A and B are shown apart, each in its own frame.
Chain A
Amino acid sequence: AQRVTQPEKLLSVFKGAPVELKCNYSYSGSPELFWYVQYSRQRLQLLLRHISRESIKGFTADLNKGETSFHLKKPFAQEEDSAMYYCALSEGGSEKLVFGKGTKLTVNP
Chain B
Amino acid sequence: DVKVTQSSRYLVKRTGEKVFLECVQDMDHENMFWYRQDPGLGLRLIYFSYDVKMKEKGDIPEGYSVSREKKERFSLILESASTNQTSMYLCASSLPGSTDTQYFGPGTRLTVL
Contacts and interface: CB of A to CB of B under 8 A. Distances in A.
Q: Tell me whether A and B are bound partners.
A: yes
Interface of A: 6, 9, 32, 43-46, 49, 51, 86, 90, 93-102
A101 B36 CA distance: 12
Given A44-B104, A95-B31, A101 B42 contact: yes
B50 to A, nearest CB: 7
Contacts of A96: 33, 45, 48, 56, 58
Interface in B33-83: 33, 35, 40-45, 48, 50, 56, 58-59
Contact of B43 (A9, A43, A49, A86): A86
Contacts of A90: 98-99
- Chain A to chain B: the 9 pairs with minimum beta-carbon distance, closest first: A101-B42, A99-B43, A44-B104, A90-B98, A46-B101, A93-B98, A43-B104, A99-B42, A102-B42
Contacts of A49: 99, 101
Interface in B92-108: 92, 94, 96-107
26 contacts: A32-B98, A32-B99, A43-B107, A44-B90, A44-B92, A44-B104, A46-B101, A46-B102, A49-B99, A86-B42, A90-B99, A95-B31, A95-B48, A95-B96, A95-B97, A95-B100, A96-B33, A96-B45, A96-B48, A97-B102, A99-B42, A99-B43, A99-B44, A101-B40, A102-B42, A102-B43
Most buried by B among A44, A98, A99: A44
Interface of B: 4, 31, 33, 35, 40-45, 48, 50, 56, 58-59, 90, 92, 94, 96-107
Contacts of A94: 98
Could you tell me the dominant secondary structure of chain A's interface residues?
loop
Given A45-B104, A46-B101, A95-B94, A9 B48 contact: no
Contacts of B107: 43
